[in-house]
Amino acid sequence: MKLSELAIGATAVVREFPKAGAAFLRLREMGLVAGTRVTLIRTAPLGDPLEIKVRGYHLTLRKSEAEHVLVDPAA
């Protein structure tokens, strides 16, 4: 499933990532790589962007990027 489809409060593991694009490289460098656990904390009051928790800190990204990040629900 897509990161953007995660329910609020749910945790998942990153499966796949687009290779190209500066935004995705930056997301990787911020610690979001295949195998990383992410938790969707909340969406902004107007629904976009999203706030996620990754490696113990909080990060925002827009839905337009989150749609391309594939995740597996964590056990």
Partner 1 sequence: MALPAHISSGVSAAPSRTPVYALVGNPNCGKSTLFNALTGLKQKVGNYPGVTVEKKIGTAYSQHGQPITVIDLPGAYSLAARSPDEAVTRDVLLGRRADTPQPDRILCIVDATNLERNLYLVHQILDLGRPVILVLNMMDVAAAAGLDVRAGRLERELGIPVIPCEAVNGKGLIELKLAMSRADLPLSRHAWDIPAPIAPAVAELQASLTANDRKPPLIARAEALLLLTDQDSVRVAGSTPLSARTTEILQGWQKRWEGEGTDWAGTLVNSRYDVIGRIAAEAVTRAGHTGPTASDKIDAVATHPIWGWMILGAVMTLLFLSIFTLAEYPMGFIEDGIASLSDWVKKDSGLPDGDLRDLITDGAIAGVGGVIVFLPQILILFFFIGLLESTGYMARAAFIMDRLMSRVGLNGKSFIPLLSSYACAIPGIMATRTIEDQKDRLVTILVAPLMSCSARLPVYLLMIAALVPGDRVPVATKVGVMILMYALGTFGAFGFAWLFKRTLLKGAPPVMIMELPPYRLPGLKDVALHMLERAWIFLRRAGTVILGISIVLWFLAAYPKAPEGATPQQQLAQSFAGRAGHALEPAIAPLGFDWQIGIGLISSFAAREVFVSTMGVVFNAESKDDDTTPLRQALLATKWPDGRPLFTPLVCFTLMIFYVFAMQCVSTVAIVRRETNSWRWPLFQIAYQTGTAWILSFIVYQAGRALGF
Under the rule (CB under 8 A), what is the footprint of partner 1?
17, 19-20, 22-23, 25-31, 33-34, 36, 41-42, 44-49, 51, 55-62, 64-65
Q: Which is nearer to partner 1, 1 or 58 (CB)?
A: 58
- Taking alpha carbons only, the member of 74, 51, 52, 50 closest to residue 64 is 50
Between CA 75 and CA 68 the distance in angstroms is 22
Helices marked H in the chain — which ranges? Answer: 22-29, 63-66
Minimum gap (Å) between residue 74 Cβ and partner 1:
16
We find the least distance from the C-beta atom of residue 51 to partner 1, in angstroms, to be 6
